[in-house]
Structure 1
Amino acid sequence: MTSTDSPTLTLADVAEQLEARLVGDPSRRVTGLATLREAGPSQIAFLANRAYLKDLPGTRAGAVLLSPELASSCPVDRIELANPYLGYAALSRLFDPLMRRERTGIHSSAVVAKGAILGEGIEVGPNAVIEAGVELGDEVVVGPGSVVGADSRIGKGSRLHANVTVYHGVVIGARAILHSGAVIGADGFGFAHDGAGWQKIAQLGGVILGDDVEVGSCSSIDRGALGDTVIGNDVKIDSQVQIAHNVQVGDHSALAGCVGIAGSTRVGRHCMLGGGVGLSGHLTLCDGVQVTGMSLVTNSILEPGVYSSGTGAMPNALWRKNAVRFKHLDDLAKRLARLEKSGRSG
């Protein structure tokens, strides 16, 4: 099978893979995924959001992945499971061409230092650089133009896409995915002011990424000043995220695009930070915190829950009026306190 071939699966194969209930022709063959509106007879569609229920009656899909409570509305063969979105996630990997692509070994233009330890079934792309003391686990892929710095370790099955930079002394776990432009282990923003200018503080720590971490394109994770910056297992980091030195992010947390986390902040397990969220330095977010998009967090959050800051968009004229009123909030609060005090004394 070449890298461009699409796999052909029967609906029986799909149902078995997903441990789901098939209602329909088990021998029907499918070659890919598509939306309810666009799918043809050789494709599987899925319905995980009721907002798209309107597209179900007219679908031409070979089969639809959906929950049992919606099954009666399906006009074609169906695969029923409790969480169709999770089923879609699993099915997408079956049809992912990267998952089927054969390893091509070490390209002739790649530079691999003597003494680097390379596992079985690896791939090192054109113009990639593997420096001295590096250890690559089995089935690691280092894409074209990527650099793995001295004494770094990358675990089994991890993939660096094109033009990823891993600095020296970085540890990356198994099955990690680093997208193009990601930089892991650059210096943290550490300087001391001598009254006239800035003196650089050498960043002597490293970066540790756990297993199953994904880092989006053009995101940066800085090395620690002394200890390590630590990203836990199964953490998902979107594109253009900045994580400063000595930050710790707990297992199973997710950071959306353009999040910025200042130095030495600790984010707990199962946290979610929406797009554009900013966390000040030296804070703690406990487990199970969700911060909605564009919020600024300047104090530690020690109770799980959903947190927000800022104001939503509104017509400019109304915003101008409210902005003027914001300036008077302190005066209004003092006046209210005086009124309450006088009321109690009366």
Structure 2
Amino acid sequence: MGNIEKSLGELAEYLDAELVGDANHRINGIADLQTASASELSFINQESYAQYLAECESGAVILSDDFADKYNGNKLIVSNTYLAYAKVSALFESLSALPAGAHPSAVIATSAEVHPSAAIGANCVIGENARIGAGVKLYSGVSIGDRATIGDNTLLHPNVVVYHSVCIGSNCIIHSGTVLGSDGFGFAPVRGGWEKIHQLGAVIIGDNVEIGSNTSIDRGALGNTVIGDNVIIDNLVHIAHNVKIGKGSAIAGCVGIAGSATLGEGCTVAGAVAINGHITIANNSHFHGGTIVTKGNTEPGVFASAPPQQDVKKWRRNSVRYTQLDDMSSRIRQLEKQLQALLAQNSADKS
């Protein structure tokens, strides 16, 4: 994982954890319970993995009180094991260092403002009047358009494309192949074709946002497409023009959000969800994978629409029945009317 090495005592202090075991034992990486060696750290936060503790050869395990008695080796006891794992993973990050300054092959416009502490990798291009903040890292092949702004300590992985006038906040991470500020899908129909509607807005991305690889966020048609603070977006997501995403929301892979939709704060959108345009989704709404969101909501909740997996023979039968639902509903209503009429007749006969 790199050249980083920490003692268990140092890790316990860093995580504010209770250490049971040898404080001087050295750790130089992280691995899962089944494969970890004596120089590596592991963790457990689910009962289904407890079976691996007895034969685990890890140098130490991060665990909670619930699992502490099930492991006899070195252990770091914390209240939230997954959070502790997330924090310790930062210590063993193996991303290649990028020194401050610009690589000789970088092309930087004379009007661009680049902070001296920023690191500009090979073959990067920075356009006119762009602003690059302190501690920014642009890995190889990144393209920054005219008048774009990159906030302090933001990291762009290789081959990210940032179009003109896009604004990215501080402490963001943008992964390779992502395009920010491409044109929204706007066309006016004309006889024999389409007239392009030029997209005159921009993309505004808040602080502490992470965007996965090969994601595309379109610029606004007139106003801006806005991604709030602390939003996390997975790979292969498409966010169309003028979409608004509230702070603290999470969007998984292969999601598509159509134009002018508004997603509230603290929402979670699982993989392959499709969200219709021009709708508003309330704060703290949560969507299961594959859900088709055709209308907005005003109250928080958990939503799903995709049918669960089933045997293919049963799926075929149910698919046929689905096409028959309208006829079945009509027949049921007719039967209900006949039954009501029969009950009324029987009641009249008795009286």
TM over 0.5: yes
**RMSD of Structure 2 on Structure 1 (CA):** 1.5
Q: How many Å separate the matches in 2 of 1:327 and 1:222?
A: 37
Counterpart of 1:33 in structure 2 is 30
State the Cα deviation string for residues 201-248 of structure 1 (Å, max 9, x = none): 010000001111111111000000000000011111111100000001
Q: TM-score, normalised by structure 1?
A: 0.95
Unaligned runs of 5+ in 1: none
Do structure 1's residue 134 and structure 2's residue 113 form an aligned pair?
no
**Residue in structure 2 matching 1:314, options 296, 307, 310:** 310
Match in the other structure for 2:224: 228
The whole-number CA distance in structure 2 between the counterparts of 1:167 and 1:53 is 49
Alignment of 1:13-32 (within 5 A): 13-32=10-29
Q: Displacement, 1:286?
A: 0.6
Query: Which deviates the most, 184-193 or 310-319?
Result: 310-319
TM-fit CA distance, 1:341: 4.6
- Taking the aligned partners of 1:226 and 1:181, their CA distance within structure 2 comes to 26
Q: 1:60 aligns with which of 36, 57, 60?
A: 57
Aligned mate of 2:139, from 137, 143, 159: 143
Q: CA deviation at 1:113?
A: 0.3
1:125 correspondence with 2:96: no
Match of 1:43 among 26, 40, 45: 40
- 1:104 offset after TM fit, Å? 4.4
Kept after mapping to 1: 8 A contact 2:100/2:116 = no
Distance 1:343 1:208 in 2: 62
TM-score, normalization by structure 2 = 0.94
- Aligned residue in 2 for 1:335: 331
CA distance in 2, matches of 1:24, 1:173: 43
1:108 aligns with 2:104: yes
Which whole-Å deviations, capped at 9, do the CAs of 1:166-225 have from their partners, x for residues lacking one? 000001001111111000000000000023210000100000011111111110000000
Check if 1:207 corresponds to 2:203: yes
Q: Which moved more, 1:229-238 or 1:292-301?
A: 292-301
Partner of 2:349: none
After superposition, the C-alpha distances for 1:31-79 in whole angstroms (9 at most, x for unaligned) are: 1111111111111110012211111111111110001121011120110
Compute the displacement of 1:165 (Å). Answer: 0.2
Structure 2 residue aligned with 1:168: 164
Question: What's the CA shift for 1:102?
Answer: 5.0
Q: In structure 2, which of residues 79, 83, 99 is the aligned counterpart of residue 82 of structure 1?
A: 79
Give how far 1:294 is off.
1.2
Return 231-240 or 117-126, whichever deviates more.
117-126
How far did 1:149 drift?
0.4
Q: What is the identity, as a one-letter code, of the residue corresponding to 1:135? A: R
How far, CA to CA, are the matches of 1:344 and 1:264 in structure 2? Answer: 49
Q: 1:6–1:32: 8 Å Cα contact kept in structure 2?
A: no
Indicate the larger mover: 45-54 or 202-211: 45-54
User: Which one has a bigger Cα radius of gyration?
Assistant: 2
Quick check: 331-340 or 145-154, which moved more?
A: 331-340
Asked if structure 2 preserves the Cα contact closer than 8 Å seen for 1:255 and 1:273, the reply is yes
Matched, 1:195 2:191: yes
Alpha-carbon distance in 1 for matches of 2:238, 2:181: 12
Out of 240, 243, 256, the position equivalent to 1:260 is: 256
Quote how far apart the aligned CAs of 1:343 are. 4.6
Deviations along 1:260-282, one digit per CA (max 9) or x if unpaired, are: 00000001111111111101111
Gaps of 5+ in 2: 345-351
